[in-house]
Amino acid sequence: MPVLAFPGPAAPSPPSVTVEVPDGWDCVPAGSDLLRARGTGAGGEPVEVTVRSHTGPVGYAASDLVDALADGASRPGTEVEPSFVVEIGGREWVARNISWDESTGPVVEVHLAASVDASSVEGPAADVSRLVVATGRVRGATLDADYDVLQSVLETLVVGGAG
């Protein structure tokens, strides 16, 4: 009978991740995420950042993950912008903005995904794709100003290991 293990070949340990947040932001319980932080935007609405680890089949790229997240955006009136590539912390990230309106006002989410170098992992762990995805969310009337703060936070992302 096969034995499954974590960490193991199909479930490698997540990478180390850091992000710098402004004074006054809170680190909130991460749940199944690696990190979760929340601040208060200019109009009192929350500005949120989450970072998760993702494991996929060999060849599953950051662009595939961002596409899948966009495909899952099924709210009425959702606008999915084209993906783009940005370098953060010496690593290439694939990013995409998704926006929609709620009863409380507009919402924008940005998803950034990056591959994690598996070359330091020997054996079967190299048989999976390891990725990290960061999601930021802003909402409300001060969305533009809050997005600038969110962007400055996301630009501090550092994933352990080489890019």
Q: What is the CATH number of the domain that holds 60?
A: 3.40.1000.10
The verdict on residue 9 lying in a domain is no
24 occurs within a structural domain: yes
In a domain, 1, yes or no: no
Peptide bond into 15 cis (omega under 30): no
Tell me the pLDDT tens digit for each residue of 86-116.
Answer: 999 889 999 999 999 988 889 999 999 999 9
pLDDT < 70: residue spans in the chain: 118-126, 161-163
Q: Residue 11 falls within a domain, yes or no? A: no
Tell whether 53 is covered by a domain. Answer: yes
| Domain-located, residue 48 | yes
Say how far apart CA 29 and CA 23 lie, in whole Å: 18
Structural domain containing residue 60: 19-119+127-157
Q: What is residue 64's three-state secondary structure?
A: helix
User: In whole angstroms, what is the distance from residue 155 CA to residue 101 CA?
Assistant: 26
pLDDT at 162: 42
Residue 153 belongs to some domain of the structure: yes
Give the per-residue pLDDT at 119: 54
pTM here?
0.89
- What does pLDDT average to over the chain? 89
How buried is 93 (Cβ within 10 angstroms: 0-12 exposed, 13-18 middle, 19+ buried)? buried
* Total domains in the fold of the chain: 1
Q: Which residue has the tokens 């630009």?
A: 155
Strands (E), the chain: 17-18, 26-27, 35-40, 46-57, 79-80, 84-88, 91-102, 105-115, 128-139, 158-159
**Domain presence at residue 150:** yes
